[in-house]
Amino acid sequence: MIEARAHRKQQQPVVTLVRLVSAKWLATLAAGIMVCVSPAASGASATNYGYADLVARLWPAVVSITVRTMTPALSSEAASSARTVRSSEDDLVGSGFIVDPSGYIVTNRHVVINAFSITVTLSDGTRLAARVIGHPPGIDIALLKVDAKRPLPTVEFADSDAVHIGDKVLAIGNPLGFGETVTAGIVSALNRNTGESPFDNFIQTDAAINHGNSGGPLFNLQGEVIGVDTELVTPNAASTGSIGLGLAIPSDDVAFAIAELRKYGRVRPGWIGARLQQITPDLAEVFNLASTDGALVAAVDKGGPAEGAGLRPGDVIQGFNSRAPSDVRALRRMIAKSPLDNEAVLTIRRGVEERRVKIEIREYPPARMVADFPFQLTQPPPQTAGNVGLQMVAMSDVVRRRLNLPASVVGVEVATVRPGSMADRAGLRPQDVILQIQDQAAANPGVVKTALQAAQDKALDAVRLLAVSPSGQAWLALPLAPKKAPR
């Protein structure tokens, strides 16, 4: 379940970028909490007592995440039904950190994508079920929510623009399912580009991070989060341990995405309607440019803000408001984070002439965003249906398209299914759609909840559901009480 991808650059060795989510095959070794600080990278504080006080303060806000995903059935009988099954071998581990006392948790999208269930373990051993609030486009971040009975400890974001190469850092996470682990190192490089998205701006660190560290925080020595541990770089796919090349998403990018998710339920990046490209040394030469800073306009969308501002292919954008983007990725981030429906001032070079152009920042068109970033961006808060282990949300357009359902079809989407529950036994899976319960159309989650409660009040053993999944439409029997063992 580990994603790996090789990148070949001209006259450079092949490296593999590995998402840091791990199969929980070492869970039996997680008998306690382990603290590992590399002597070479520890860089003891001025008191020469290491980082104990700082770690003790940060530890409670870092969580371990266990995820169960769905995999295709292997048996011919199961395959013929075209359903999906889960296995204990599908348990994956990752990390996260709490950013709000009410239970909002940040992690990586690749930790929780396609999750069958998500369990968050706090530093004191408390286990809580989590749901996905959303995961925005173009950045490997997800926001989770747990319902705790008490306010939870939190950590704060730092200004990642203030991070410097050589700064000391701490990484806390859950490598290989061992449990929370702290490692120390420095910021080795900034603005690393792996081609994962058009906005890449990774912080590189030599603090040891491994599979299972995904989603964990990278701290400065003030105890602030400067980044989210996301990937490690290895010489080849067979070598997947840390070699001191870890990558983290900068906190400024994460904070922007999380704030948007919490305020609007989705992320609304800014957009100018122009296709931008990096200026290479060769392009700088043919365009008579002194440097490769900024971005080159390759195309202008008809009817977009760039067309209205008079931008043309071949224009070189060298300034955005009062800032000078170092490359095309920096410019894209500036545009994405800009206030919507406001004007920005571009400094452009056209031929030998420099000019300033006002341009409107609009929201990235949602339909285009779905096409450019083909995954579901947000998920509304689910409703729990009785005690059958089922949570539901209103049906989304993403699921309608996936199941090829017309707009006239009503139903409710399965958000989560608790492993081993009665909903699990019935064969329900996340993103299935319940169309009917008993003889009643499942118009919304409330209808299903009411029908289940009525059936339980009548002491029925089960109810019938008409559901649709990728394998098609089928009737399911949802038990309302555990089966009694035969005498």
DSSP β-ladder status, 295-300 and 274-277 = antiparallel
The HSE-up count of residue 394 (CA atoms within 13 Å, CB side) is 5
Other Cβ atoms less than 10 A from the Cβ of 73: the count is 17
Secondary structure (H, E, C), the chain: CCCEEEECCCCCCCEEEEECCEECCCHHHCCCCCCCCCCCCCCCCCCCCCCHHHHHHHHHHEEEEEEEECEECCCHHHHHHCCEECCHHHEEEEEEEEEECCCEEEECHHHHCCEEEEEEECCCCCEEEEEEEECCCCCCCEEEEECCCCCCCCCCECCHHHCCCCCEEEEEECHHHCCCEEEEEEEEEEEECCCCCCCCCEEEECCCCCCCCCCCEEECCCCCEEEEEEEEEECCCCCCCCCCCEEEEEHHHHHHHHHHHHHHCCCCCEECCEEEECCCHHHHHHCCCCCCCCEEEEEECCCCHHHHHCCCCCCEEEEECCECCCCHHHHHHHHHCCCCCEEEEEEEEECCEEEEEEEEEEECCHHHHHHHCCCCCECCCCEEECCCCEEEEECCHHHHHHHCCCCCCCCEEEEEECCCCHHHHHCCCCCCEEEEECCEECCCHHHHHHHHHHHHHCCCCEEEEEEEECCEEEEEEEECCCCCCCC
Burial class of 204 by CB neighbour count within 10 A (0 to 12, 13 to 18, 19+): buried
Catalytic (active-site) positions? 110, 140, 214
φ, ψ of residue 335 in degrees (nearest 5): -65, -45
Cβ–Cβ under 8 Å, residues 106 and 155: no
The HSE-up count of residue 135 (CA atoms within 13 Å, CB side) is 21
Whole-number Å distance between alpha carbons of 209 and 354? 46
Of the candidates 415, 420, 34, 15, the residue with the CA atom closest to the CA atom of residue 212:
34
